[in-house]
Structure 1
């Protein structure tokens, strides 16, 4: 399909979403499965039964197989683990087919599912399990930080998979409880600090449409057939990519952990066209010899979750073409702003883009430079926050054409020698250096200046950068208050989400 002149209606019709037959299948799916992920999977299995749906490091399934296995797993959870609608389940697992099956099965049973980060430590996971009442805990067996004395029944994803395989030929269809809609899928936002914000989202047909329209109209994601997801499902970006990809009948490749070399091999082997990514992942790709050749199949890199350095945009555009789209959103408000490759190339600094249809944004209390706190209101925000103004916590400005630009986090602003300093600005300047892969700037108390900035720098493997050379390079670009008092060269560890691990 030629894309730019095709209406959203035509695209949705082509994807069967609003065709007469598609509406009939949707109706039956919603009647039988409720408003749940299982209804979506039933719809996809009807139109793409023999197409490869999903592949992980161990196996692959067609859409028909994925639907059948999900339905069988639903019956196992209902009959053998006695799960009932409105119960609570904690799921702690890396991207895999069995976790995908569990997400659909739990949604069909009306279970309130909490996705906990696999990056959390023992104390953090134990605290969450003790604080909330879960009827069942499902986790990957290699997660050593899971406490041995769990507060309720627990089972590994590997054991669930074995039961499913053992009973595959024996399972008989059982009458499952009727549900009107699936319960919330909950993620915990807040990194590894332990101070989590609980983000709950319920399956919804109407609130799902505006973000989908933006992906179809502006990214034209419907044109591509092969998707790679290495961002974890407990990251909202990874989970939403999975759901949208399955709805459109894509081939979804899953990777459990971020390993730049392995992922580049998968991109080349599977001829991946679409990949959601965070900037730190992309930066590491370009440090690997032969990356350009391995990435030539990519047509759409969807960046989100962190600030996208201008230097990274320029490198990617030069090497493999204008393929980067920048998505901006928050865990609470969801995705609500998008910048195309052409828009990213049009400004000296990276733009967040403009709000998608159905979103209202405003800059509150701007300073003399027009920089203020960013507020948003959308219909598809987290459960309980729909159509309410929310403070994103980001500092932004807006130009005369309506484009927004990011200037850091309000809660990271520090006073150094009487001046306001934004550590994220320092990080962005550092990342523009061709020999720097990752950078971290943070404040340290000082008896004379109140605070000063210290930095940690990760360089390319062959770099011979010294502290004095870097300071000389920084001086023309930073104010005196922003200049680092300490520069430490080290490897900056990444989380599964592609973000930097907390200090």
Structure 2
């Protein structure tokens, strides 16, 4: 408790003036997300809040413009509490302003994936009947080929009406009464690799946000740092959580709409980035770039990886090249952030996702919903007061197979629908993937189950190679001998130029067959 209080004090959150600012922000902005931005503007007014490309904006200006945006959306578009507005954007300042302004008005905000296809988009339009969509150029392409006929507001420029940038810079008259509201719902898409997306609905609460915040503050010392580069999409739960935590800490947030390792490295040096927020595939590419640029991580102190499985080969490589920096955050759209492995945890258990954070309960259960003992593989279930249900009494089934050891560390064994039963033996494709990735010529690996007349199912491995590497299937089979059991032996090995991944960096197994 003392350490928590000390870290909060260092982050200006438990000083008398800090308490006053937070209390005043809650009174003024109610309990919507704008509380966090108002607190940051009161506490760190002149600090740079966001840098995106050649643009930058201070916390004071970000707050003022977001208030103006909320007023203009209410005045010009009659946005009211309870309406549904979708954000169809990549990472930039107008996205952030729109998110907070809509929350201030009590709007239900839908964070949409710009990489979805037209059929998926039309399905969401029909199902949710959005009152409006705020979009950038990436999202505009989807809208033009869709059936959406309601209000569309571009983020950056418009020849026919207002843009978010224009609205945010328009001062509203002092006599104008802005109708504020408690936060609406925050809806994040989940699934959608093939078929249609599901939605994870969460009622954002400043108070429910505190336990995940304390976990990061205590175990990773995030309050000590002043710059964070968010390289994961803000429309994903991991990205938006990183944004909110960064804002309450008053750090400089670097955003990019597109990722390229060379330009990312330039930004890391230019802004002396101390904290990276990314998915494993981006970490893999940055570590590869490190071979060309030894000073790439010169200022970096913490790497937060999440959104996809972090394989042990990548963990060991990061631990060697950038020691004591990597942490793995596990969560789902429905369950939120719930399990964390620090750099020390990953040194001891490279295959673990860590331990549950304070305020979370986890268990492993079988298909009859009976809790399983330590070391037994089953469905990972989570409950906390910041899950999709916002109920501490309701368990969320994550869809992930896992086990917990006697020390409380959790280990993933893949998705429930990834499980392969070969000759009556449970085989977990993730285990073969981890072994394949240990081969020095292998860049990526994915394993699926395929039908087999003799065993019922066998494994099929897909492999992509490191640049300039040469490896045959027979050579790889020889290398695997002694490293795997009989049921883990792949029936087929297929070499691909690149393993397909989703827009969030997860391997897209639905595209493999």
Shorter-chain TM-score: which interval? over 0.9
Partner of 2:477: 471
Contact 1:414–1:422 at 8 Å: present in 2 too? yes
Q: Within the alignment, does 1:112 sit opposite 2:108 as a pair? A: yes
Partner of 1:454: 460
Q: 1:93 aligns with which of 89, 95, 105?
A: 89
Q: Return closer, same or farther for 1:199/1:167 CA change in 2, 3 Å cut-off.
A: closer
Q: Which structure 1 segments of 5+ residues have no match? A: none
Aligned residue pair count: 497
SS in 1 for 2:77: coil
Contact 2:448–2:461 at 8 Å: present in 1 too? yes
Q: Within the alignment, does 1:199 sit opposite 2:200 as a pair? A: yes
| Deviation of 1:239 (Å) | 0.3
In the alignment, the residues of structure 1 paired with residue 317 and residue 254 of structure 2 have an alpha-carbon distance, to the nearest angstrom, of: 25
Q: Residue by residue, what CA displacement relative to the aligned partner does 1:58-78 show, whole Å, maximum 9, x if unpaired?
A: 411011111111111111111
Contact 1:279–1:306 at 8 Å: present in 2 too? yes
Contact 2:115–2:503 at 8 Å: present in 1 too? yes
Q: 2:427 aligns with which of 415, 421, 442?
A: 421
Q: Residue by residue, what CA displacement relative to the aligned partner does 1:255-284 show, whole Å, maximum 9, x if unpaired?
A: 112322322222122221111222222122
Q: How does 1:107-256 map to 2 (within 5 A)?
A: 107-143=103-139, 144-146=141-143, 147-159=145-157, 162=163, 164-165=165-166, 168=169, 171-173=172-174, 174-179=176-181, 181-256=182-257
Q: Return closer, same or farther for 1:259/1:369 CA change in 2, 3 Å cut-off.
A: same
In the alignment, the residues of structure 1 paired with residue 351 and residue 93 of structure 2 have an alpha-carbon distance, to the nearest angstrom, of: 36
| Deviation of 1:177 (Å) | 1.1
Which range moved further: 359-368 or 48-57?
359-368
In the alignment, the residues of structure 1 paired with residue 465 and residue 275 of structure 2 have an alpha-carbon distance, to the nearest angstrom, of: 28
SS in 1 for 2:216: helix
Q: Which structure 2 segments of 5+ residues have no match? A: 367-371
SS in 1 for 2:49: strand
In the alignment, the residues of structure 1 paired with residue 72 and residue 455 of structure 2 have an alpha-carbon distance, to the nearest angstrom, of: 63
- TM normalised by structure 1 equals 0.93
Q: Residue by residue, what CA displacement relative to the aligned partner does 1:58-103 show, whole Å, maximum 9, x if unpaired?
A: 4110111111111111111111111011110011100000101100
In the alignment, the residues of structure 1 paired with residue 358 and residue 165 of structure 2 have an alpha-carbon distance, to the nearest angstrom, of: 43
Which range moved further: 121-130 or 432-441?
432-441
| Deviation of 1:128 (Å) | 0.6
In the alignment, the residues of structure 1 paired with residue 477 and residue 243 of structure 2 have an alpha-carbon distance, to the nearest angstrom, of: 44
| Deviation of 1:196 (Å) | 2.8
Partner of 1:286: 287
Contact 2:31–2:183 at 8 Å: present in 1 too? yes
- TM normalised by structure 2 equals 0.91
| Deviation of 1:383 (Å) | 3.5
In the alignment, the residues of structure 1 paired with residue 58 and residue 148 of structure 2 have an alpha-carbon distance, to the nearest angstrom, of: 35
Which range moved further: 215-224 or 299-308?
299-308
Partner of 1:354: 355
Q: Within the alignment, does 1:500 sit opposite 2:487 as a pair? A: no
Which range moved further: 488-497 or 105-114?
488-497
Contact 1:258–1:496 at 8 Å: present in 2 too? no
| Deviation of 1:44 (Å) | 0.4
In the alignment, the residues of structure 1 paired with residue 266 and residue 192 of structure 2 have an alpha-carbon distance, to the nearest angstrom, of: 29
SS in 2 for 1:94: coil
In the alignment, the residues of structure 2 paired with residue 82 and residue 383 of structure 1 have an alpha-carbon distance, to the nearest angstrom, of: 30
